[in-house]
Structure 1
Amino acid sequence: MKQVFSKYTRLLAAGFVLPMTACAQGDLDSAAIDNVFADFNAETPGCALGVVQSGQLVYGRGYGMANLEHGLPINTASIFRIGSVSKQFAAAVAALAAMEGYLDLEDPLQKWIPELPDYGEPLTLRHTLNHTSGLRDYITLMSLKGLRGDDFYTVDELIEVQALQEELNFTSGSEYLYSNSGYVLLTEAVARAVDKPFKDYAEEVLFRPLQMSHSHFHDDHNHIVALRADGYSPRGDRFRTNMTTLDMIGDGGVYTSIDDMVHWVTALEQDGIRSGLTPILETKGILNSGEEISYALGQSHGEHRGLATIGHGGSWVGFRADVLRFPSQSTSIVTLCNRSDAGPSGRAIQVADIVLAEHLAPLSEGPSLEAEDSRERAERSEVSDPNSYLGTYYSPELEVNYEFTNTDGSLVVHMGPNAESELQRISGDTLAAGSRTFRFSRDGGEVTGFELDAGRVVHLRFIRLN
């Protein structure tokens, strides 16, 4: 194993420690910043905030409680699950494995995950990193199989379901569509290439060199995490714990703190992990057509009031997170929360407006909600002839049956024992239940099956059995 050793890790090894406060803190409008989080208190979960400028934590504070049962307040040492913010860490580890010669980001994914079908076109590790793979999202697939959000399944079972998929959402590289599957399969590919668990490799090449001593990929839900904040969701005027037993990592799964994230955003700013790594991570994806997309490797490029941004949000069970960097100002806003309604991205923008007020362009009036709502939408109507669709339909890609019944004159689809929805007509044989679209096909006038579109999964095939 080659060691990852850089200008940044040499500073750390020499005893350089990033300060937890800085003299610049007095220059910030702390009252205005605190007001952004004024709705969090000693009776609610909340967020931890870190404002990092030129390698210093110039403002760090906790708002609300890390644990309601034991009355533990949030602070900059509290450990949060950060959802999809984890993707930038997974991307960095994969890129380091490529720099170490274990794999190539242009390798076909099937080279390392041979269980997957050959879809006829190249599907590379880079495609998974840019969300241009076309892989159907496993979270959606498992939901379509009838699993509930708190049901348990393993990475091996996830791969089995992924291997059943007879086609991709689209030809790899032709479009952008967010897919958590790509990142889970990526981490499995890296683990097989380096011949050790991804969590251990990430500790060796990333977290330990950066002295992120309270950060890790959480691949065992029974693993005890000191200083961990519990995740919560509101229920009426109270809160309930909202955690997960799933052990997938890559798409999510990192636990970290504000104190540790100071090291991370500073290393990205200074290209201090391994020379040349930050440019790799920040290179935007390019479609087969040559079109450049805003998504890079686990990070997305954007703009706020005239300043370029790089960042990513995270959302999983009762946790929410956001990392928003302003490279030209050497400023990062890190917001880690343990309540599902926290809205960290909006709060990060508000903090940025305070911290960078002198550098931002004047506020421009965004599109109104009225303009948003005026977009043409397909009107839905009642399915007046439900009997032609009744029966059992089977999906070989999910290995499940969907049952369509006439319930009090309405067409209802039963998607496993835990879910049923009433269908409405969009047009002809195109029906919808919530956000799911069912496109039925006929032969000689008889319905023979349908294709299902459900956001991050499209063209899922069902065959009529009776």
Structure 2
Amino acid sequence: MRDQYRIYKGCEFACKFRRAITAAFIVLFVLTIYICSEASGHNDLNQILRDSIRDLKIPGAVMMVETPQGQVWAFRAGVRRIGSRKPMGNNLKFRIGSITKTFVASVILMLVNEGKISLDTEVSEILPDIVTAGNPLTIRHLLQMRSCLGNFTIDKDFLQLFRERPWTHWSPEHLLQFGHKDHCREGREFEYNNSNYVLLGLVIEKVTGENFESQVYQRILRPLNLKSTTFPVKSANIAEPFARGHDYNPQTGKIKDLSLKINPSWAWCSGNGVSTAADMMIWIKAYLNGFGISSGLHSQQMDFRPVTYDGISYGLGIMSKYTAVGHNGNFAGIYTSLAFKFRGYYFVILTNGQAEGGGRKATAESVFWRVVERSKIFN
């Protein structure tokens, strides 16, 4: 009986072993087919991304693409920090710059959807200490970038102070004191202006009685489970792991890592967001499909009006560039970003500044256009 038991257990083990080997072979076979199809179908995207950051003089980039069929492709190229051999990683955090504006616009539109304000509410009714009575400036004007506000990010006095003391903590009210504009009528003239979204942030806080970060967390980050997205105000620190942001000075020819040296309060909710490619993919899909608002209000959001340049238009916290719809971002030149939908594909591209001085072309958007124009997939 004991010998028969040993024979039985030996046969049982052999059968299990054969089944395990067969299963492993099947998995390996399927995986091999998958890898081959990935390489043959998307290898050009990998190469275009690598070529782009080299030609545009960008240290590194991550790119995530979702196809109309729901497949997600992730790519990376370059390094996370100049002077290090550590490659760029798909899980790294970046400052997303003006993609932050989509979160601001979303909260504002939710408040409109709830009847707490309307698109045509005059801002002076909410913030009389900042916008004087009689000024026809409305919520819609701010969202559309047609406010006639002074633009602090191009004001000479602000820029001088910012360059001399980038670690300074700015209040939103102080930012809005810079810049001045004459001979402008609200609603008529478009200007891409960060002051619009700083003022919208103050509207959110006044109407809700809570700070902007709290509202974004409750309404967007928690429901969508965006665990790697934050909106720091006072601290220049970024939680690990993150890509370093680089600045190239053409006068000295030197490259500086300014990742932790610029206080994000200079942009506040016009550009202080931090996120990952994965979080941004979830968000841009939700945002472009009317997350948290009615279909009627979403239609108004997507009512694009032409701006100064042909082929470009702006809605309510959203832009259209040659049929690519979404938003781009730039945080003091040391990080650039893009979250677009183009020909049925969703794109997220994040980059970490300049390596040798790519100038105005050293951006995530420049990478995007090279990818979609050169890849066979989108032609």
Same fold (TM over 0.5): yes
Is the Cα–Cα contact under 8 Å of residues 333 and 351 in structure 1 kept in the other structure?
A: no
Aligned to 1:252: 271
Q: Whole-Å Cα distance in 2 between the matches of residues 215 and 171 of structure 1?
A: 36
Residue 255 to residue 37, structure 1, CA distance change in 2 (3 Å): same
Question: Displacement of 1:158 after TM fit?
Answer: 1.9
| Residue type at the aligned position of 1:284 | F
2:335 is the counterpart of 1:322:
no
Residue 173 to residue 52, structure 1, CA distance change in 2 (3 Å): same
Question: Displacement of 1:258 after TM fit?
Answer: 0.8
Aligned to 2:256: 240
**RCO comparison, higher one (Cα < 8 Å, 6+):** 2
The 5 A counterparts of 1:37-116 are: 37-38=50-51, 45-54=59-68, 56=70, 58-68=72-82, 72-116=86-130
| Residue type at the aligned position of 2:341 | R
2:275 is the counterpart of 1:261:
no
Q: Match for 2:317 among 280, 285, 298?
A: 298
The 5 A counterparts of 1:127-146 are: 127-141=141-155, 143=157, 146=160
Determine which structure has the larger strand proportion and give its number: 1
Is the Cα–Cα contact under 8 Å of residues 77 and 257 in structure 1 kept in the other structure?
A: yes
Question: Displacement of 1:187 after TM fit?
Answer: 0.8
2:366 is the counterpart of 1:346:
yes
Residue 66 to residue 149, structure 1, CA distance change in 2 (3 Å): same
Residue 285 to residue 124, structure 1, CA distance change in 2 (3 Å): farther
Q: Match for 1:28 among 41, 62, 67?
A: 41
Residue 137 to residue 261, structure 1, CA distance change in 2 (3 Å): same
Is the Cα–Cα contact under 8 Å of residues 306 and 313 in structure 2 kept in the other structure?
A: no
Cα RMSD (Å) of the superposition?
3.2
Residue 272 to residue 251, structure 1, CA distance change in 2 (3 Å): closer
Is the Cα–Cα contact under 8 Å of residues 104 and 201 in structure 2 kept in the other structure?
A: yes
Q: Whole-Å Cα distance in 2 between the matches of residues 29 and 224 of structure 1?
A: 32
Is the Cα–Cα contact under 8 Å of residues 66 and 74 in structure 1 kept in the other structure?
A: yes
| Residue type at the aligned position of 1:88 | T
Question: Displacement of 1:194 after TM fit?
Answer: 0.7
- Provide structure 1 residue ranges, at least 5 long, that are not aligned to the other structure: 1-21, 361-466
- Provide structure 2 residue ranges, at least 5 long, that are not aligned to the other structure: 1-33
Q: Whole-Å Cα distance in 2 between the matches of residues 55 and 89 of structure 1?
A: 26
Give the match's secondary structure for 1:136: coil
Is the Cα–Cα contact under 8 Å of residues 268 and 278 in structure 1 kept in the other structure?
A: no
Residue 169 to residue 293, structure 1, CA distance change in 2 (3 Å): farther
Question: Displacement of 1:35 after TM fit?
Answer: 3.2
Question: Displacement of 1:26 after TM fit?
Answer: 5.0
Residue 80 to residue 160, structure 1, CA distance change in 2 (3 Å): closer
Tell me the TM-score normalised to structure 1 length: 0.62
Question: Displacement of 1:221 after TM fit?
Answer: 2.1
Deviations 1:161-187 (A, max 9, x none): 25x95x656111121111110111111
Determine which structure has the larger helix proportion and give its number: 2
Residue 217 to residue 142, structure 1, CA distance change in 2 (3 Å): farther
Is the Cα–Cα contact under 8 Å of residues 152 and 176 in structure 2 kept in the other structure?
A: no
Q: Whole-Å Cα distance in 2 between the matches of residues 261 and 55 of structure 1?
A: 19
Question: Displacement of 1:230 after TM fit?
Answer: 2.0
Deviations 1:248-280 (A, max 9, x none): 322111111111112112223544444426434
Deviations 1:35-93 (A, max 9, x none): 3323658x973111111223745321222222347654322211111111221221112
Give the match's secondary structure for 1:218: coil
Percent identity at matched positions? 21
Aligned residues: 325
Is the Cα–Cα contact under 8 Å of residues 150 and 245 in structure 1 kept in the other structure?
A: no
